[in-house]
Amino acid sequence: MMIKDMMRQMLQGITATVPAAQVEAGVRAYLHSWHSGDAMARANLFADDVVLEDPVGAAPVVGKAALLAFWARAEGPHAKFEPELVRLTVCGDEAVAVFNLHVEFAGAGKATLRIIDNFQFDGQGKIRRLRAFWDAQSVE
């Protein structure tokens, strides 16, 4: 048996409560919501008891209300976010998205943040946990 066949067999053993296509669509909708600036559409992708770590190691943000407040501090009327997906991998009810978030604030300039997000979905297809990995070397 070839190594590629062995790897594919390993993947067949993964169980999920949500179809991979739904997980992928959820991640893509999340990224698109940053582009469109629609925080409510973004919030609707999450479970009520969501836990966000952004970045991992920071105090967790728990629940949708806290999530909206967290985003309100990051966003504003003069903020522009352009996510650029580099890679998306779905395994079971989880996904990892590697992306660049191009950020522009009027009067404050531009930056690019290179992020790796780990999404965990619940049985209803809602994001129940999001862990954002980025550090000082991720900011350009």
Catalytic positions, written as ranges: 30, 54
- CB of 115 closer than 8 Å to CB of 132: yes
Sheet of 94-105: strands edge to edge? 61-62, 46-53, 127-133, 109-121, 94-105, 79-91
First and final C-alpha spacing in the chain: 45
